[in-house]
Amino acid sequence: MSIINNKKHFLHEHLTFLESYGQEGGNGGFENLLKQLGIRVGGRSWDDDHSTIDWNLADNHFQFFFDYDNNEEEIKNWLKKSSISEYETLLTWLSWEDPIIRIKTTDFIENWEEFNIAGGWEGLILTTEDGKYYLEFTDDWKYNLNSNFEIKPKTKK
C-alpha cells in the first residue's frame, strides 16, 4: 500500500508534510522526471555503483560510504550544513506502490535513515524541485552516498 494512503506507515511518525507530486514514479516515471530536470540517468554508474544517476556526466560528484556505526547524527549534521538545507521541499520516490512525493527538506534531514529504510535499502534518490541539487543513496551493494554538492567535507571525486 502506498505511503500516501497508509497512515500507519512508520515514516508518517517523522513527517510534518507529505504530498503527491501528481506523477507516477513506476514504469520509468521517476527517471523521466529526473531527465526533465536535467539530471542524467543510466550509463556506467549502474555497473560501478548500482546508481541510477549517471555520475560520470554530473558537473560535480561527491561520494562517501554512509553505512557505518553511529552515522546518523554525523550525516544529519552534514546535511544541515549542505546546499539542500536552503530548500523547503524535496522530491523523491520510495516504492512501486507510491507516486513521486514532495517532502519537507527538514523532515528528510532529521530522518534521512528512516527514508532510506522506507525505500527498502534498494537505493534512494532525492532532488530539489528545480533539479539543481540531487543525491543518491546506493543500495546494499556499496552503500555509497553520491551527490552533486558537498555533504561530507573533502569527498569530491
Q: What is the DSSP code string of 8-50?
A: TSGGGGG-S-EEEEEEE-TTTHHHHHHHHTT--B-TTHHHHH-
Cβ pair 140, 121 in contact under 8 A: yes
State residue 121's pLDDT score.
73
**What span, in angstroms and rounded, lies between the C-alpha atoms of 108 and 28?**
23
State residue 89's pLDDT score.
98
Cβ pair 130, 114 in contact under 8 A: no
State residue 118's pLDDT score.
86
State residue 22's pLDDT score.
93
State residue 150's pLDDT score.
98
State residue 1's pLDDT score.
61
10-residue block means of pLDDT along the chain (157 residues)? 80 91 93 96 80 93 91 96 98 91 97 89 92 93 93 95
pTM, two decimals, is 0.94
State residue 8's pLDDT score.
85
State residue 23's pLDDT score.
93
